[in-house]
Amino acid sequence: MRAVLQRVSEASVTVDGTVTGAIERGLLVLICAEHGDTDEETRYFARKINKMRIFTDDSGKMNLSVQDVGGAALVVSQFTLAANWKKGNRPGFSAAASPDEGERLYELLCKSLQEEGLAVEKGIFGAHMDVRLLNDGPVTIIMDSKDSA
């Protein structure tokens, strides 16, 4: 599983001219399930996303989580995070989970974030989405389940 977290002042996703999700302060979470990803890994990602201290406290130090600041998450599926770009000039996406499994894990991540107490807005899985964001910092964190602790 791969995720890109972006700390935002605001973010929204639009599909066919209709806003499907929008947040103010919080995290834009771009997520990609890959072959072999498990429910356990997905729930672990939700816990880490919710508790990651990347918001600044009164001293200007990144010491607060999205939940600490009353923020929300906008979760957007993005299979292109599984891109294999090393061979040739056209990236391959065969590492991405099948659409059915990818959508199942995407929905599980959103549900798990909500169970952690986080307000969650979403894009539409598999749709062509226009994502708007106002980066705060910018602060961007890349998560990969293949990384060791």
Q: Which domains does the chain have, with CATH numbers?
A: 2-144 (3.50.80.10)
Give me the catalytic one of 45, 55, 67, 79. Answer: 79
Helical (H) or strand (E) element with 5: strand 2-15
Strands (E), 66-122: 72-77, 119-122
Is 79 known to be catalytic?
Answer: yes
Widest distance between CA atoms in the chain: 48
Is 78 known to be catalytic?
Answer: yes
Is 6 known to be catalytic?
Answer: no
Give me the catalytic one of 38, 80, 93, 140. Answer: 80
- Range scoring the smallest mean pLDDT among 27-31, 113-117, 143-147: 143-147
How much is the pLDDT for 126? 94
| pLDDT tens track for 66-115 | 999 999 999 999 999 999 999 999 999 999 999 999 999 999 999 999 99
Does the reported pTM lie above 0.85? yes
